Structure 1
Amino acid sequence: MSRPRPSWLMPLSVIGALILGLLPLPPELQSLRPYWLALVVAYWVIEDPDRLGLGFAFIVGVVADLTYGSLLGEQALRLVVMAFILQRFRARLRFFPLLQQSLAIGGLLLNDRIVVVAIHVALGIPSLPPLAWLAPLIGMLLWVPVFLLLDALRLGHWRRR
């Protein structure tokens, strides 16, 4: 018998990821900021695919575009592409050990950077700084703690028994 997830957890995790994306960083570290929203959306698409999929990714992306003041639809497209790939390979990815999942998430985050470059080239927007290509590596390293934290909250392992 599966336990229902707390109804507050998904919105709170998305809001938390949005806030982490807004936190100020020194200018030299700005391009190294991990894509927190992608990590949270990836978690929910993997763990709750019946309720949260492409529509969820699109809505979260539009909210992020409005929150960050970025090009309207850019993050929505990025998150939908990631969610589509995750849905396609979810059956395999779900049962990988966490370290292998990390590598797959790193690949998805690298793909996200390629999507960003394609959008910027198509629209004539200046390209990403070279250090921005390290952000997927940071996101890959953060996947395990993010996954474990959200999983513990979702499954109620944080409560005392």
Structure 2
Amino acid sequence: MPAQPINLFFIIAFSFLLALVLSVYPLPMDFRWWRPEFVLVVAIYWIFFMPLTVSFLFLSALGLFQDLLEGVPFGQHSLGLVIVGYICILSYQRVRNFSLWRQSAWIFVLVGIAQLTDNWVQGMAGRPLSGIQFLYPALTSALIWPVCWVWLNRLTHSHQH
């Protein structure tokens, strides 16, 4: 029985490590605006389906590490992760009963909120973005949500038994 929490810890750590790698994996310039917010999507999954596994302190530290990794203003990802994490904590009981496509729509909203905070931080740093391009990652994150959900769900359930 004690091996189960250790396995869960490694699954969570592996999923976040993979998300961090995917967040900096080189893409052609034409696709840079379309990169999904992998770290945020993985955080949303763990908060929705195991809300006590990810703390706000962990989300803050994860966001700061992602800022360093991506070379963006310090605190940009932390702010988005904590705000979205708070909204997820408030809504997880309702949202995890949604269909997968309705969850995808909710992911679009949550990632859109995080992208708005990222855009605000970029503006404060003197690099404002114009247009609606900053919401493209919200769309691609919503589209990859079903794949992410299925993969993490199978990974979690295969190690619980």
Q: Name 1:87's counterpart in structure 2.
A: 89
Q: How many pairs are equivalent?
A: 157
Matched, 1:67 2:75: no
Matched, 1:104 2:102: no
Aligned partners of 1:110 and 1:69: how far apart in 2? Answer: 21
Aligned partners of 1:38 and 1:104: how far apart in 2? Answer: 13
Letter in 2 for 1:113: Q
Matches within 5 A, 1:1-161: 6-127=8-129, 130-156=132-158
SS at match of 1:29: helix
Cα drift, residue 144 of structure 1: 0.6
Cα drift, residue 79 of structure 1: 0.6
- The unaligned stretches of length 5 or more in structure 2 are none
SS at match of 2:9: coil
Percent identity, aligned pairs only, is 26
Bigger helix fraction: 2
- Contact 1:53 1:87 (8 Å CA) reproduced: no
Once the two structures are superposed, what CA deviation does each residue of 1:86-109 show, in whole Å capped at 9, x if it has no partner?
Answer: 111111111111111111011111
SS at match of 1:95: coil
Cα drift, residue 130 of structure 1: 4.3
Cα drift, residue 53 of structure 1: 3.0
Cα drift, residue 149 of structure 1: 0.3
More displaced stretch, 49-58 vs 125-134: 125-134
- The unaligned stretches of length 5 or more in structure 1 are none
Once the two structures are superposed, what CA deviation does each residue of 1:11-37 show, in whole Å capped at 9, x if it has no partner?
Answer: 111010010011111111111111111
Once the two structures are superposed, what CA deviation does each residue of 1:62-86 show, in whole Å capped at 9, x if it has no partner?
Answer: 1111222221111111111110111
Say what the alpha-carbon RMSD is for the aligned residues: 2.0
TM-score (norm 2): 0.88
- Contact 2:119 2:128 (8 Å CA) reproduced: no
More displaced stretch, 5-14 vs 28-37: 5-14
Letter in 2 for 1:53: S
- Contact 1:17 1:36 (8 Å CA) reproduced: yes
More displaced stretch, 142-151 vs 109-118: 109-118
SS at match of 1:28: helix
- Contact 1:62 1:75 (8 Å CA) reproduced: yes
Once the two structures are superposed, what CA deviation does each residue of 1:110-136 show, in whole Å capped at 9, x if it has no partner?
Answer: 111211222222332231664332221
Aligned partners of 2:33 and 2:130: how far apart in 1? Answer: 8
